[in-house]
Amino acid sequence: MAELALSNLHKSFGATEVIRGVSLAAHSGEFVVFVGPSGCGKSTLLRMIAGLERSDSGTISIGVRDVTTTDPAKRGIAMVFQTYALYPHMSVAENMGFGLEMAGMAKAERQKLVRQAAEMLHLTDYLDRKPRQLSGGQRQRVAIGRAIVRNPDIFLFDEPLSNLDAELRVKMRLEIAKLHKDLGATMVYVTHDQVEAMTLADKIVVLRAGLVEQIGSPMTLYSDPDNRFVAGFIGSPR
């Protein structure tokens, strides 16, 4: 049984069908990376998995649960956005604990989880700061921390490092790889960066205009791409 299974998902905005029949399965603990050109539907697909967009047809299941129409808060999923989406008026600790507060968790327990996540992400000294008093990398860590405290079965990352400079991107990539190893959670990760895709992924999904072009391990896609499009994305010399 796959941890996450998408079956023949379709989604239109107005007259334009942007997801045109996507199926894929991720095992528990797998790191799945979506790559594909701008506008091919990567964010829409993540938002559908998160429940922020409703699919027109097809099904989404997590473990044995069909979550196709399940409320986002009840899917056991946490999403990290490219723009961090932090609340500017809240401290780091409040940002990280806000989702738990909304879910009705008691303050003491919330604080414990926030502190644990802060330690994992080297944010312990910054818990009282506001987002504007943080660097880009620290802001992204807060956004990741907000996901970690919820202890989701599945993490979704939408180009989480694309606003960081090259050096910090490498550092954060290694931190995300370590998090994946430590937490053992299933992760679905969108990126434009071939190095991120090749080094983080157990499985890469190449998307093109709302369809899956090829799914495979980084090595398979690199050494045996189905076509020039896939080769172009994974950087094989062919």
Which residues of the shown chain bind Mg ion in the complex (CB under 5 A)? 42-43
Q: How many C-beta atoms surround the C-beta of residue 135 within 10 A?
A: 11
Site membership for ligand ADP, residue 139 (CB under 6 A)? no
CB 147 within 8 A of CB 155: yes
Q: What, of Mg ion, ligand ADP, none, does residue 13 touch, CB below 5 to 8 Å by kind? A: ligand ADP
Residue from 8, 13, 124, 195 touching ligand ADP (CB under 6 A): that is 13
Alpha-carbon span 3 to 83, nearest angstrom: 27
Residue nearest to Mg ion (CB): 43
CB of 111 to Mg ion, least distance (A): 34
CB of 84 to ligand ADP, least distance (A): 17
Instruction: Enumerate residues 36-55 that contact ligand ADP by CB under 6 A.
Output: 36, 38-44
Phi, psi of 117 (to 5 degrees): -65, -40
User: Which residue stretch of 34-42, 100-108, 180-188, 229-237 sits at the interface with ligand ADP (rule: CB under 6 A)?
Assistant: 34-42
Which of 139, 160, 156, 157 lies closest to 87, judged by CA?
139
91/163 with CB nearer ligand ADP: 163
CB of 14 to ligand ADP, least distance (A): 7
Which of 73, 95, 94 lies closest to 85, judged by CA?
95
Which helix (DSSP H) or strand (DSSP E) does residue 176 occupy?
A: helix 166-183
Site membership for ligand ADP, residue 132 (CB under 6 A)? no
Angle between helices 92-102 and 136-148 (to 10 degrees): 20
CB of 138 to ligand ADP, least distance (A): 25
Residues in the chain: 238
